[in-house]
Structure 1
Amino acid sequence: MDAVERLIGRRWEGVTLNTFLKFGHLDRPVQRHLQRVYATLGVALTISALGCLADLHYGIAGILTYLAGFGCLLGITLTPANPSNLNKRYAMLAGFAFCQGAALGKLVDVALDVDPGIVLTAFLGTATVFVSFTLAALISARRSFLFLGGWLASAVTGLMVLRLSSWLLGARMLVFQVEVYFGLLAFALYVLLDTQLIVEKAAAGYTDPIKAALDLLVDILAIFARVLVILLQKQAQRQQREANRRGNEKKRR
């Protein structure tokens, strides 16, 4: 009977978009906290875009922006989340977002030189991944993805060991490919994990929208960078195939 319903489509009768966007299982304080988190995240992403633009025009990315970004990250982590430090922590989040955006400037510049459409495609792909995994985390039963914490920590450690071994033993291109694709999967799953952690912490009374937005910002920028690299690789492969095709045509003539 279930197979017949799937075949004729009756399985989805009465299911609308609102069915998937019901968050009644989340308490009102948790919902308000999520609103603050995503508002903060939106501003941080805008600042990251400004940092990327600044690097494209002025080439500001370098050791100073790296140290500044690391300092802001350390400051957010070590500064207590209380009202007296709110503006200071927001400023450090803005500084970190700007520096991270600047760090992506060189990669974005390469993509713009190859095909400006790649950057837009990477942005839309990143948005799709983030929204899909966020909704999956919010709609699913609470704590259902928290088991990913140990697995993802082990996976990230494995990637670091793999990168170190590539420096010592070679095969850097193979390791790079593994790191790009596996890293994309890992950070997509981190969106699931971080979103449910935000919900659980808020339900327990720990509401820090700055730290929550920081975690999601790192996930999004990591996903965007990897999607952009994959698209650049695909474009290079297409160009290579086209060049080989033209070369074969000239030989036949």
Structure 2
Amino acid sequence: MDAFTSFFDSQTSSRNRWNFESLKNFRQISPVVQNHLKLVYLTLCCTLIASAAGAYLHILWNIGGIVTLLGCLGCMIWVLATPHYEEKKRVSLLMAAGLLEGATLGPMIHLAIEINPSVLISAFGGTALAFGCFSAAAMLAKRREYLYLGGLVSSGLSMLLWLQFASSIFGGSAAMYKFELYFGLLIFVGYMVVDTQEMIEKAHNGDLDYVKHAMTLFSDFVAVFVRILIIMLKNSLEKNEKKKKRRD
């Protein structure tokens, strides 16, 4: 009995020690890097607000399309090409990219509002929750612990692109489309973790380009949000069809 009690106590203390040590991992992040992270996530929030404004503008004036997509890509390339000391210009370009990205996603968001507005709220909430959890996991983990996943998720992304290319040429089934959707979601969730740790590591090495880092996280957020929204829309439509069949 005493042996069992001592074993239980040792296991409990080890769990408490693990939790305490995990929380102390934030101390591995220097004050300079912590300040950098604040700037990154503040810029990310502002970009998401600009994206929401872009989606609203599409609902009002139907401006979303290939032009806004090309404009978004152009603004992102412009951000990378602009020198770091032109900070205001780079931030303005990133906000413009967010606005155009939101307008590009406007048709999908408008469709979600027409079908079931709660799906849109749930998709955004789920994306924000996943983003927060996986970003926190990357920050709490040891430095460079998840960087090795970079090659894995890059290989997965390459595989996904080849699958989409093959589907566009030879045609794809519903099962293949569903696999691509969930597989893509898994890949970009992995990118959330890898990009967060890579951002922290670069900041430790002196790369404090918060605009570029915010743009990378914004791309991850949008990629996950789009896939979650599509999955939830498909499920909502299937439920509506089942309800109609039951009524008939």
TM-score (norm 2): 0.90
Partner of 1:250: none
1:69-127 CA-partner distances (Å, limit 9, x unpaired): 1111111122232x2x1111111111111111111111111111111111111111001
Match of 1:59 among 54, 62, 69: 62
Partner of 1:229: 230
1:138-178 CA-partner distances (Å, limit 9, x unpaired): 00011011111111111111111111111221125333212
Q: Please tell me whether the aligned partners of residues 187 and 223 of structure 1 are also in contact (alpha carbons under 8 angstroms).
A: yes
Q: Please tell me whether the aligned partners of residues 163 and 175 of structure 1 are also in contact (alpha carbons under 8 angstroms).
A: no
- Specify the code of the residue in structure 1 equivalent to 2:152: W
Partner of 1:79: 82
Q: Please tell me whether the aligned partners of residues 73 and 97 of structure 2 are also in contact (alpha carbons under 8 angstroms).
A: yes
Partner of 2:47: 44
5+ long unaligned stretches in structure 2 = none
Partner of 1:243: 244
Q: Please tell me whether the aligned partners of residues 5 and 11 of structure 1 are also in contact (alpha carbons under 8 angstroms).
A: no
3-state SS of 1:146 partner:
coil
- Specify the code of the residue in structure 1 equivalent to 2:185: L
User: Are 1:136 and 2:137 counterparts?
Assistant: yes
Stretch of structure 1 that moved more, 209-218 or 176-185: 176-185
5+ long unaligned stretches in structure 1 = 248-253
3-state SS of 1:24 partner:
helix
Q: Please tell me whether the aligned partners of residues 191 and 219 of structure 1 are also in contact (alpha carbons under 8 angstroms).
A: yes
Deviation, structure 1 residue 17: 9.9
Alignment of structure 1 residues 1-253 onto 2, 5 Å: 20=23, 23-81=26-84, 83=85, 85-247=86-248
Could you tell me how far apart the structure 1 residues matched to 2:8 and 2:236 are? 42
Could you tell me how far apart the structure 1 residues matched to 2:134 and 2:30 are? 21
Could you tell me how far apart the structure 1 residues matched to 2:19 and 2:154 are? 37
1:166-197 CA-partner distances (Å, limit 9, x unpaired): 12211253332122111111111111011001
Could you tell me how far apart the structure 1 residues matched to 2:212 and 2:238 are? 40
Could you tell me how far apart the structure 2 residues matched to 1:187 and 1:129 are? 11
Could you tell me how far apart the structure 1 residues matched to 2:180 and 2:112 are? 19
Could you tell me how far apart the structure 2 residues matched to 1:121 and 1:110 are? 15
Identity %: 33
Stretch of structure 1 that moved more, 168-177 or 237-246: 168-177
- Specify the code of the residue in structure 2 equivalent to 1:237: E
Deviation, structure 1 residue 227: 0.7
Partner of 1:251: none
TM-score (norm 1): 0.88
